[in-house]
Amino acid sequence: MRSTEERARLAAEELGPTFVKLGQLLSMRPDVLPHAFILELRKLQDSVQPLPFSSLGPVLREALGREAHEVFADFNEKPLASASLAQVYFARLRDTGQSVAIKVQRPDIQGTMEADLDLAAWLAGLLQHRIAALQAVDLRALVEEARRGILRELDFRHEARSQQYFNAQNPHPEQVFAPQVNLELSSERMLVMEYIDGRPVSQPGLPPETMRLLAARGAASLVRQVLVAGFFHADPHAGNVFVTADGRLCFLNWGLVGHLTRRLRYALADFWVAAVQQDAALIVQIAADLAPPETRLDLHTMEKEVTLALREELNFAIGH
């Protein structure tokens, strides 16, 4: 018999791309969703059946303001990738010969997603009422927050600026980077960027020592993004991280990013130090300091629960 969490994931896959995207966003909220739901929702993959180029061609022409052959010397109408919001194509610029990847938004996607998100809000209320594990969660508020993120992601100019900002702030471009964006050609519904000749980091075949080095560099970059810059790639799963021929890591798909204030970054750093030191009291104090003033907290119960969680999940005295 399938669990409630698995049925929720399967339902999202059955309902289509909007619900897959919504599930992925909710999977990044372990602070409010039960752990079992988080683990199941992380299995959702944003990969859908590609549309024929005849459906994407009008979007491309409108975004360019001219015919594609006037801008691109070569254009492969077979997509490199197909996701819920867009399809990605390979081309070469006519004026420079540069190889580029072109992310073209699916036609009529905004209206479809807005209708699906209205349905998701209704379903959220129903699920919260009927599933005991979700009754303590304001699921409708979570869906509304996710709605804002999804609709923002439909404007590819945000993604272009995020890639630019990461590259400008990144101290180690010889190790990790994001694709350079062609701002002149990019717009709300189309993103033109350098083509990355590489392979997903999860693809087998790399020597173990190379994988360890790449893992260390990727982890160091993510820690810096979160704790130092306060600006980070919010969906760095294996399919969004490529290894280039020269051994660098490339973070792809910057539609989902996170921002942390200085106060939150300091609190998060203190939190992890406390977790490593098994200091449950300090963890609870950090959480209490960050909670809204009107929140009523049972600090004694919280400390007992955190102590148990640390012993079971982060106990360096035993092997894992």
Contacts of 179 (CB under 8 A, 6+ apart): 101, 163, 193, 194, 195, 196, 250, 252
Kindly name the residue from 31, 235, 279, 289 that is annotated as catalytic. 235
* Tokens representing residue 34 in the block: 């039960």
Backbone angles phi, psi at 57, to 5 degrees: -55, -45
If you search the block for the tokens 């409108």, which residue do you land on?
A: 62
Q: Please report where in the chains the tokens 């083509």 appear, as a residue.
A: 195
Structure tokens at 36: 């079992």
Tell me the C-alpha distance between 67 and 63, whole Å: 10
Interatomic CA distance for residues 99 and 195, integer angstroms: 5
> Which H or E run contains 141?
helix 139-153
Q: Which two tokens stand for residue 51?
A: 């549309």
Residue 29's closest CA among 147, 153, 146? Answer: 146
138 included as an active-site residue: no
Catalogue the active-site residues: 235
